[in-house]
Structure formats: C-alpha cells, structure tokens
Amino acid sequence: MTDDDFDPFETDLEADDVTDGADRADRDDHGEEEAEPEESPLAAAGEPGGEPVEEPAPVRRARRALRSAQAERTAAVSRVRLADERVVNAQGVIRLAEAKAADLEAEKAKAHQVRAAHEAVERAERALARLELEVSERRRELGVAEEMEREAKEALDTALAGAADEATRLAAEAAAAAAEPATDAPPELFYRNVDEFVREFLRYVYRRPVDGRYSFWSPRWWKYDEALNRLEAMWRAWEHLRLDPATGPSVWWRDHADPHMRVLLSPHGPFRRETDVVATDGEPLPYEPPPEGLFRDERATAGEATAPKLPGA
C-alpha cells in the first residue's frame, strides 16, 4: 500500500456519517401519522337513524391526552431504533478502522500512517461511546413515554366508566320519572258535593240550639245564595285540609268553620227570617233534601274550577 492508497481521514468520515442525521431522523419520527383511536360506544351510540351522541368533556380530554401520549411513544420507539442502528454502524466503522490499522502494521507502513489509523480507531470508539449513551437516553425517554401512555389509557378508561355510570343514572331517573304516577292530579273528594257534606258531616259536628230568636238556621239552606256559597267554601276547605292530619283539622275549625257558622247562625245572617225553625241543644241541625239534580257528583269533575250551582240559576 502506498501513501496515495491510504487516507487517514477516511474512517473519520465514516464515523461522522454514523453520528450525523439526528435532526433528519427527528423530523422523520414526527412526520409519521399516528392512527386515530377507535371511537368509543359512547361516541358512536345514539338513537337509531339519529346523530351520534357527543362524548362528555372529560372523555374528550382524556382521548386527546391518549392520542398525544401514543404519538410521543411512537416517536420514542423510532428514536430508539435509529440510535440502535447508529451503534451497529459505529461498531462496523471500528472494525474497518482496526482492520486498516492492522494492515498498515503488517505492511510496515510509515509511522505517521499507522499513527493516523490508530487515531481513527480511537475517534470511532469515542463516537460509539457517545452513541451508546444516546441509546440509553433514548430508551429512558421511551420508558417515560410508555408510562405516560399507560396513565393516559387508565384516565380514558376511568372517564368512560364515569360517563357510562352517569348515563345509566340519568336513564334510571328518566325511567323512574316516567313510571311515577302524575302528582298534579287532585286527590279524590271524600264527599260527592256540598249537600252530602252538610247532610252527613256538618250538621252532626256543629250542633247548636236554634230558637228563631237568637240563633237561626234553615233546613233548606240550599235556597239561600250566601249560605250555599259559604257552605261550599267550608266543604272545599275541609276536603283540602283533611289531607294534613297534623294541623289541618284545627285550621279548618279556626279559619273556616267557626267564622262561617257564626255568620250563618247569627240574627243578621241569611237565615234571619227562618223564625219557625227550632232545634234543641245536642240535636243535629235540621235538614231537608234539595231538589233532585241541584247538586251533581263533583268527583266526576274533580279538578274543574266551577262555582256552586245556585237554586235560581
């Protein structure tokens, strides 16, 4: 081998070829397209023939985080693969450099040629050491990326489970609400009308002596407009307040029964001309049935806001 046959910098150029291209490799890594994760049943579900249901915000955020983690893990895998390839190339460069140095020594080449060959081997070994450190760093980065991907998957699973639980809860509440009976319907009346209320209840619980002088009453109370309206009001109030077993009865006596009956029994009330009606103390208030058809069955029209039917109407 002559001086012109040997280039002491040839192995250096080959070693440099091993270590260059990092920026280009990074560009190649990030240029890879990450496959989109499949949509979850929550996103794809919806009414048959309708639009898909939009995923809740926590699920969308977790899905974006997982995509980002998957992209980073893919890039980290590519960087590790490239670093491993560089190490293999660097080892090949070292073998070539060592072979050239051995040939020069065997051929009794000039000292500066042998020295340059050994320096090329040393430079290639230093490049290999740097590349091995890079492999270790790239593998550490890959481990971090894989851990981030695992955490992102767990976060997405948690978000999906939470969304499914919430959807189940809402569906159960909707089903329960649909199964509940309507609460706005008025309760059934205890008495069919005011006449039944007076005949079967009021005249027995409000026993007062009637003498046609100081207290007055009429068994034909349904003939008097004022009396009919007051007794209707007492009945409606009783039907409402009876549903409150704690204070309802007391409120009815205090705010409804006593005020109205004081007026009806007074010498200035609507029965003031009924001087012939007499009832002894302890007897029920006198009663005569109204004309047939004067009062209807209010249970059949419960909930309708109707005024009492007056005798002359």
What integer pLDDT is reported at residue 55 of this predicted model? 85
Asked if 146 contacts 66 with a C-beta cutoff of 8 angstroms, the reply is: no
- Rounded Cα gap, residues 189 and 202, in angstroms: 16
Residue-averaged pLDDT of the chain: 83
pLDDT digits (tens, 9 = 90+) for 191-221: 999 999 999 999 999 999 999 999 999 999 9
Determine which of 43-47, 116-120, 131-135 has the lowest per-residue pLDDT on average. Answer: 43-47
pTM of model > 0.75: no
Considering only residues 172 and 3, tell me which one the structure prediction assigns the higher pLDDT. 172
Domain definitions of the chain by residue range: 10-179, 194-301
- Rounded Cα gap, residues 87 and 29, in angstroms: 18
Helices first, then strands: H and E counts in the chain? 10, 0
pLDDT digits (tens, 9 = 90+) for 129-174: 999 999 999 999 999 999 999 999 999 899 888 888 888 888 888 8
Q: Residue 203 is which amino acid?
A: R
What integer pLDDT is reported at residue 32 of this predicted model? 47
